[in-house]
Amino acid sequence: MTLLWLNSLLAVGGFYLLIGTNRIIWFWSGFFIGLFWFYWISLSFIYYDLALLIPLIILCVALCYGLLFWIIGRFGYTAFVQAFMFFSLSYIAPFGFNWFKPELILLKTYFSTDTLYFALFLGGIALFKTLPKYYKIMGVGLVLISIPLHTSSVNQPLLPVSIPAMHIEQSKRWDKAYQHDAIMLNFSLIENAIAKGDILIILPESAFPLYLNLEKELILQLKEYSKKIAIVAGSLTYENEKFYNSSYLFTKGEMHIAHKVVLVPFGEEVPFPDFIVTFINRIFFDGAQDYQKAKEPQDFTIEGMRFRSAICFEATTDLLYQGKPKQMIAISNNAWFTPSIEPTLQHLLLELYARKYHTVIYHSANSGISGIILP
């Protein structure tokens, strides 16, 4: 149950207590936001046998956001400057990681998360804190203006879609002993969707834990299924001695592949110069290569309808929404970070982007929150 009035009051109170304060308060606010908002980043290191690094990773992330907030407190000489600098954090992505969106706090409130409305909201808070006595009403007015009078509505998609809930542990996902069971589970889900009369089934990222483009018999079976139902599923691709994280579409007996465009920092690529990347991969990842990526977003066409293809992290980046696609198929594997708040945070970010670009998102997540997200 979501209490919009309570969330709205807490959001106003939180921003009011922060904006206009000194650098010490800003630092510790950023430190604990980094700690509690992003502690889960470290959990994936368990699967690289680097669990000892977890406390260090958590501390580094907390200090990174503490430093960003300290800069606001140190150089934001007025509440208005602080509000502007805080607003700018939406456009700052340390090492390419962009999941800190201050406006996300307003998502489950009466206030709008649109850029202009969020700026008015922060401006209203700054005015209220700085203007004397009765002039504070001007700040209240700006905050109230950031409550939209009308909300756009989108009709439920007409396409009958099956998005099965899957909860496969990461420790099993890439275990070769489990590979056959994973394939049989996928076949079972496809057959159930066909029996229900669905036109499309969406399986999550890494649903097929192998290099699918090299599995000729498996491809033939999926092509055969696709004569009865369109299938989107995540898998890896190996071609020209390069590795890709890909989304596969099987429809009408044909196969189409869309490679990931935006890779996860430190998960799929190391965001440093090549000589540093080679060193880090050799020391921490047994010499593994970074994944390769496509040059631009790609679309799938299903039953005459176009869907932007997105894989996990990239579904929460502006690049994937170029051209404002009306519909998107996003697939994720959240098992890397469960149990944690990561699946909830991802779902909220997808809601934010769905609203921002008026895109209907079909999201299939292993160990995450699956479903259809409307703007």
| Residue 205: active-site member | yes
Among candidate residues 103, 129, 268, 312, the one labeled active-site is 312
Structure tokens at 327: 């519909």
Which of the following is catalytic: 205, 269, 342, 351? 205
How many angstroms separate the CA atoms of 242 and 239, rounded? Answer: 5
Label the pairing between strands 327-333 and 360-366: parallel
Neighbours of 31 (CB within 10 A): 20
Per DSSP, helices labelled H in 297-341 are: none
Instruction: Identify residue 238 by its one-letter amino acid code.
Output: Y
**3-state DSSP helix/strand/coil % of the chain, to nearest 5:** 50, 20, 30
Q: Which two tokens stand for residue 220?
A: 């033939």
Using DSSP's 3-state secondary structure scheme, residue 75 falls into: helix
- H/E stretch holding 226 reads none
DSSP state of 23: H
Q: Is there a contact between 359 and 67 (Cβ–Cβ < 8 Å)?
A: no
In this structure, are residues 124 and 146 in contact, taking their beta carbons and an 8 Å threshold? yes
Active site residue 260: yes
User: Among the options 64, 101, 260, 351, which is catalytic?
Assistant: 260
Q: How many C-beta atoms lie closer than 10 Å to residue 299's C-beta?
A: 18
- Number of separate helices (H) and strands (E) present in the chain: 11, 11
CA 140 to each of CA 16, 121, 137, 220, 308: distance values in angstroms, whole numbers, following the listed order: 12, 9, 5, 63, 40
Q: How far is CA 255 from the centre of its chain?
A: 26
Query: What spatial distance separates the first Cα and last Cα of the chain, rounded to whole Å?
Result: 19
- Rounded Cα distance between 231 and 327, Å, is 16
Which residues carry out catalysis? 205, 260, 312
